[in-house]
Amino acid sequence: MTERLLVLTRHGESEWNLKNLFTGWKDPGLTPKGIEEAKTAGRGLKALGLGFDVAFTSALTRAQHTLKLILDEIGQPGLETIRDFRLNERDYGDLSGLNKAETAAKYGDEQVHIWRRSYDVPPPGGESLKDTVARVLPYYVETILPRVMRGERVLVAAHGNSLRALIMVLDHLDDKTIPSLELKTGVPLVYRLNADTTVASKQVLEG
């Protein structure tokens, strides 16, 4: 039987995650903790006996480095890897580089939660989750999903909101339920899909 394996993982903790800064398309690296999270993710996937035929990641260092660390741990350092900006984190626009707590103190917790977790309200000068879906989902359907459906084992290392955009579709979430979805750094989500592209199973590989 064709295995339709799709593993999604958010990057490990970044330097701006640690500083509680809005990051978006800015390009900080991983912290030592983030590096360890990525290695733990790789060890977890290896312990499940999982290997991959292709990997996808964004144009941002934190995701690319996470992917490299995972592939090193599972013994596939030379795996075909496709980098594309369409998997980038949501662009936080004018909030990029600002401290999240200071921004909440200035504009209110509710407004910051709306900017971070609502479906269709963008941060100033940035992308809403809806905007992020509009670039992630076509890329998934046109480029990633066909390879999963023909039996290639696919690994995606990306970002909290670009993955929320994809998981919204995979898990059939809507604009009322997506705000409560949070993704931990460096924790792989192991999906297996049915022949009709729906989700057959989902496993969260807690560190």
Tell me whether residue 89 is one of the annotated catalytic residues: yes
Q: Select 73 or 89, whichever has its Cβ closest to ligand 3PG.
A: 89
Binding site residue list: 10-17, 23-24, 62, 89-92, 100, 116-117, 160-161
Starting at the edge strand that comes first in sequence, how are the strands of the sheet with 154-158 ordered?
81-83, 54-57, 154-158, 5-10, 189-193, 199-204
Phi/psi-derived region of residue 181, left when phi > 0, alpha when psi is between -120 and 50, beta in every other case: beta
Residue count of the chain: 207
Q: Which of 11, 37, 65, 152 is catalytic?
A: 11
| Interface residues toward ligand 3PG, by CB under 6 A | 22-24, 89, 92, 116, 159-161
Residue number, 23 or 76, with CB nearest to ligand 3PG: 23
Q: Largest alpha-carbon pair distance within the chain?
A: 55
Closest CA to 21 of 104, 84, 88, 109: 104
**Least distance between ligand 3PG and beta carbon 91 (Å):** 9
Name the catalytic one among 73, 89, 127, 152: 89
| E strand segments, the chain | 5-10, 54-57, 81-83, 154-158, 189-193, 199-204
**What is the rounded CA–CA span in Å between residue 48 and residue 61?**
27
149 versus 181: smaller Cβ distance to ligand 3PG: 181
Give the residue ranges of the annotated binding site for substrate.
10-17, 23-24, 62, 89-92, 100, 116-117, 160-161
Determine the Cα–Cα distance for residues 5 and 97; give it in Å rounded to an integer.
36
User: How many Cβ atoms are within 10 Å of 37's Cβ, its own excluded?
Assistant: 24
Nearer to ligand 3PG, 28 or 44 (CB): 28
- Minimum separation from the CB atom of position 8 to ligand 3PG (A): 15
Report, in Å, the least distance between residue 133 CB and ligand 3PG.
Answer: 14
Closest-CB residue for ligand 3PG? 23
Q: Considering the complex, what minimum distance in angstroms separates the CB of residue 22 from ligand 3PG?
A: 4
Look up 159 and say whether it is catalytic: no
Nearest to 179 by CA among 126, 140, 130: 130
Catalytic residues: 11, 89
